[in-house]
């Protein structure tokens, strides 16, 4: 059995989950910013994990030839959400009515996303350790003969 594929799958999963954590941290860090370096209002981001093929049949056929076609790739895209408007007349970016536009970051949703990414990352670590243990035991059996 080739354990490298199990290691590669777990590594790809951990990579995508780390990207989700990084994007969540970025969203939370910019939650109260009024404008970015480009002068525009920050748009919350999200990670979209996709597989190489269009459907299950194409993925199944591709799995016979290459493992890399099965590994998820994370893509970051901006979400199209309405900004939050708060009343703060003392803010330097307030308009004539004292309203300030802030990014439409959903704090609760980001926290749930962070917990979900952490749990998925931990699950990938457990799977990686299980594959490592199986490979080590196989080597021990082969060496004892």
The pLDDT of residue 5 is above 70: yes
The pLDDT of residue 60 is above 80: no
Dump pLDDT digits (tens) for 94-117. 999 999 999 999 999 999 999 999
User: pTM for this one?
Assistant: 0.79
Reported confidence tier of residue 63, pLDDT bands at 50, 70, 90: low
The token pair that represents 129 in the structure block: 């350790």
The pLDDT of residue 130 is above 80: yes
DSSP string, the chain: --HHHHHHHHHHHHHHHHHHHHHHHHHHHTTT-S--TTSSPP--EEEEEE-SSSSHHHHHHHHHH-SGGGS-EEEEEE---PPEEEE-TTSTT--TTSEEEE----HHHHHHHHHHHHHHHHHHHHHHHHHHHHHHHHHHHHHH-
Looking at the chain, the whole-number percentage of residues with pLDDT higher than 70 is 82
The pLDDT value recorded for residue 117 is 95
**Structural domain spans, the chain:** 3-31+50-72+105-144, 34-44+79-103
- Between residues 41 and 62, the one the model is more confident about: 41
The pLDDT of residue 91 is above 70: yes
The token pair that represents 53 in the structure block: 């093929």
């Amino acid at each position: 059995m080739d354990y490298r594929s199990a290691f590669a799958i777990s590594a790809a999963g951990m990579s995508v989950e780390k990207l989700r954590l990084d994007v969540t941290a970025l969203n939370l860090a910019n939650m109260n910013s009024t404008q970015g370096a480009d002068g525009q209002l920050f748009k919350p981001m999200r990670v979209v994990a996709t597989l190489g093929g269009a459907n299950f049949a194409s993925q199944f056929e591709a799995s016979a030839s290459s493992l890399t076609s099965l590994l998820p790739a994370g893509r970051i895209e901006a979400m199209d959400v309405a900004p939050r408007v708060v009343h703060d007349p003392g803010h330097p970016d307030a308009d004539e009515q004292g309203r300030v536009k802030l990014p439409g970051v959903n704090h609760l949703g980001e926290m749930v996303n962070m917990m979900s990414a952490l749990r998925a990352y931990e699950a990938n670590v457990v799977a990686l350790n299980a594959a490592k243990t199986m490979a080590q035991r196989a080597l021990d059996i082969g060496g004892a003969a």
